[in-house]
């Protein structure tokens, strides 16, 4: 049995899920022993500990010019000392060019089988990836396991399914007959799905696999060789993923250079060298808006970006103000606000939020939100693990130095019982009004939220939509029991190309986007020009080329 036949039912299920948009998880998200094995967690810890100060030798390293690395753990407060094989940009490009025809000539079935098999290898490393993610990004253990493991693999599988379906949308050959009265014209036609060329995937420091696997697998399934350029501070998680892809390619008798790693350092970056190389045709980028704008401005490239977002919450009327505050408080605190979907601006009309017990003013809601966040943060069994650690010290400094309006909740370091040197920071909450627009009109990455008093619900909606249109937004929350207001929000936010989550309480949060159902980023506002995973995300990676000749 070939790899495609082995995984064909799995692939068909994933394609079906893409169309139905119901709940579908290709990989279980809970790190249970029953699912992943009795010793899986312990083995993951051991793998990470044994990696300290060592060379990561699972990647193809023949001809490496040296070994580089500069990762440090936000939990341990120390460098990891792990190094990776370094290749010059010219060497990486040359190798990708050498193998491009080999990969292009593999059938969609063969590519799909190989790639799904690599995800099975990734599945066996979910706990390795979890601890690698924890200690490079600062994510809490559960988030690190889920986001970088099962959810990252889900997004990869989603890209494989979408790409395979598009590659099979049209027939490979056709007999074309045009009646012309007493005679007919007969042509034999055929089509090739031609990959665009070398693909560059530029990773980020906070979600190194979840944000990189969609573009990586979308390019591979459509026949493009890929160079993965991880963030210098978060290399290990993607090194494991690429190692599993290379292992699967090698077992299939194919060159490992079809998928290469390009680690670098902050002191000697190679991203621009790769991005500007004329042989690079595709670029996937996740990160800040400045570099994202640069990538989007490169000529001759097909670019897919996720950059930044000013995410808003619109409050109008609720059944239980405390449940709303608890939900938003958790969303703000989760991974210390270091998520592209985290809420930042919470708009409350001057008349207050309508509740069964009367209207709740913006100032009062800020106090309720403060109590909710404090209750979570000060819970020793929950707070440290929900907050995780701050990946970059600049994030901490920015939040600490931020001043605007009235301070409602001061940020502060909290003790992590497992890691005494963890870099932590609890959320800051400030109360402002619309005169402070300059302060809330940009993404303030990290644990920071602003409760903003507006003149009325119309101004709240207009502000949220205008900020999304001008500065980008990846998520929006809204709370209302009035259908007319709901429709106003839907229509206005749709015109700003921003999805809206209505009336979330309980254990579903604004931050969470599900593979096979939610489109992550719409591609319609400045938050990014691409969407995980719509058809455009895959079809722009190849072109249909037709051939025809008289049929005898």
Confidence check: pLDDT of 114 > 90: yes
List 184's β-bridge partners, or say none: 179
Mean pLDDT of 398-421: 93
Q: Is residue 173 in a domain?
A: yes
Domain identity same for 285 and 371 = no
Nearest to 532 by CA among 119, 154, 26: 154
Domain identity same for 390 and 265 = no
pLDDT of the residue at 308: 84
485 Cβ contact list (under 8 Å, min separation 6): 316, 317, 457
Q: Is residue 273 in a domain?
A: yes
Q: Is residue 270 in a domain?
A: yes
Give the rounded percent of residues in the chain with a pLDDT score beyond 90.
97
Give the rounded percent of residues in the chain with a pLDDT score beyond 70.
100
Domain identity same for 430 and 382 = yes
pLDDT of the residue at 309: 87
Contact, 153 vs 213, CB < 8 A?
A: yes
Q: Give the CA distances from residue 230 to residues 203, 269, 536, in Å, rounded to whole numbers and listed in that order.
A: 4, 11, 24
What is the CATH number for 336?
A: 3.40.309.10
Domain identity same for 195 and 343 = no
Domain identity same for 205 and 286 = yes
- Cα–Cα distance measured from residue 316 to residue 311, given in angstroms and rounded to the nearest whole number: 17
3-state SS string over 374-397? Answer: HHHHCCCCCHHHHHCCCCCHHHHH
In tens, the pLDDT along 226-269 reads 999 999 999 999 999 999 999 999 999 999 999 999 999 999 99
Nearest to 67 by CA among 59, 77, 78: 59
Average pLDDT, the chain: 96
Q: Where are the beta strands (DSSP E) in 196-241?
A: 198-202, 226-229
pLDDT of the residue at 344: 96
Domain identity same for 252 and 296 = yes
Domain identity same for 132 and 253 = yes
pLDDT of the residue at 23: 95
pLDDT of the residue at 241: 98
Contact, 427 vs 332, CB < 8 A?
A: yes
First CA to last CA across the chain, in angstroms? 37
Domain identity same for 242 and 371 = no
Q: Is residue 22 in a domain?
A: yes
Confidence check: pLDDT of 1 > 80: no
Q: Using a cut of 0.85, tell me whether the model's pTM lies above it.
A: yes
- Cα–Cα distance measured from residue 81 to residue 197, given in angstroms and rounded to the nearest whole number: 34
Q: Is residue 450 in a domain?
A: yes
In tens, the pLDDT along 181-214 reads 999 999 999 999 999 999 999 999 999 999 999 9
Confidence check: pLDDT of 171 > 80: yes
Q: Give the CA distances from residue 274 to residues 307, 343, 469, in Å, rounded to whole numbers and listed in that order.
A: 19, 34, 31
- Cα–Cα distance measured from residue 320 to residue 269, given in angstroms and rounded to the nearest whole number: 50
Question: For the chain, what is the domain count?
Answer: 2
Q: Is residue 78 in a domain?
A: no
What is the CATH number for 248?
A: 3.40.605.10
Q: Is residue 218 in a domain?
A: yes
In tens, the pLDDT along 328-354 reads 999 999 999 999 999 999 999 999 999
Domain identity same for 275 and 362 = no
In tens, the pLDDT along 258-283 reads 999 999 999 999 999 999 999 999 99
pLDDT of the residue at 47: 97
Domain identity same for 296 and 407 = no
Domain identity same for 300 and 320 = no
Q: Is residue 520 in a domain?
A: no
Domain identity same for 484 and 387 = yes
- Domain with 250, as residue range(s), is 3-44+87-307+534-550
Confidence check: pLDDT of 145 > 90: yes
């Amino acid at each position: 049995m070939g790899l495609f036949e082995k995984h064909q039912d799995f692939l068909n299920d994933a394609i079906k899920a893409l169309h139905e948009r119901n709940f579908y998880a290709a990989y279980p998200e809970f790190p249970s022993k029953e699912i992943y094995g009795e010793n899986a967690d312990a083995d993951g810890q051991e793998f990470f500990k044994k990696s300290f100060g060592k060379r990561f030798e699972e990647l193809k390293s023949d001809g490496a010019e040296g070994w580089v690395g500069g990762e440090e753990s936000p939990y341990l407060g120390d460098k990891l000392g792990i190094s990776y094989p370094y290749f010059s940009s010219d060497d990486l490009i040359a190798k990708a060019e050498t193998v491009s025809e080999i990969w292009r000539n593999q059938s969609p079935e063969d590519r799909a089988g190989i790639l799904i098999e690599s995800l099975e290898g990734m599945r066996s490393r979910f706990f390795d990836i979890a601890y690698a993610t924890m200690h490079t990004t600062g994510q809490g253990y559960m988030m690190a396991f889920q986001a970088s493991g099962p959810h990252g693999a889900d997004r990869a599988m989603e890209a494989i399914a979408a790409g395979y379906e598009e590659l099979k949308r049209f027939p490979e050959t056709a007999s074309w007959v045009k009646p012309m009265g007493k005679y007919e014209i007969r042509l034999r036609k055929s089509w090739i799905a031609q990959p665009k060329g070398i693909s560059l995937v530029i990773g980020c420091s906070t979600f190194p696999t979840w944000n990189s696997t969609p573009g990586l697998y979308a390019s591979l399934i459509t026949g493009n060789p890929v160079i993965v350029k991880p963030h210098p501070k978060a290399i290990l998680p993607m090194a494991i993923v690429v190692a599993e892809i290379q292992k699967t390619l090698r077992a299939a008798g194919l060159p490992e250079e079809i998928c290469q790693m390009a680690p670098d350092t902050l002191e000697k970056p190679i991203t621009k060298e790769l991005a500007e190389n004329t042989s690079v045709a595709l670029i996937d980028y996740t990160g800040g808006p400045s570099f994202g704008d640069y990538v989007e401005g490169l000529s001759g490239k097909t670019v897919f970006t996720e950059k930044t977002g000013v995410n808003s919450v619109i409050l109008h009327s609720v059944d239980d103000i405390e449940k709303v505050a608890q939900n938003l408080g958790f969303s703000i605190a989760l991974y210390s606000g270091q998520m592209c979907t985290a809420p930042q601006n919470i708009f409350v009309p001057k008349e207050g939020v309508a509740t069964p017990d009367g209207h709740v003013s913006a100032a009062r809601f800020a106090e309720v939100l403060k109590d909710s966040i404090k209750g979570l943060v000060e819970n020793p069994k929950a707070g440290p693990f929900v907050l995780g650690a701050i990946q970059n010290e600049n994030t901490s400094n920015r939040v600490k130095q931020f001043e605007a309006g009235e301070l409602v909740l001061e940020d502060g370091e909290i003790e992590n019982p497992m890691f005494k040197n963890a870099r932590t920071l609890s959320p800051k909450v400030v109360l402002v009004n619309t005169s402070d627009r300059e302060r809330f009109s940009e993404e303030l990455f990290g644990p920071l939220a602003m409760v903003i008093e507006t003149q009325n619900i119309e101004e709240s909606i207009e502000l949220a939509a205008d900020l999304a249109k001008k500065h980008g937004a990846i998520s929006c929350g809204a709370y209302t029991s009035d259908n007319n207001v709901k429709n106003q929000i839907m229509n206005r936010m749709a015109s700003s190309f921003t999805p809206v989550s209505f009336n979330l309480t309980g254990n579903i949060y604004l931050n969470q986007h599900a593979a096979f159902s939610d489109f992550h980023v719409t591609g319609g506002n400045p938050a990014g020009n691409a969407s995980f995973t719509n058809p455009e995300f895959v079809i722009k990676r190849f072109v249909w080329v037709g051939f025809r000749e008289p049929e005898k």
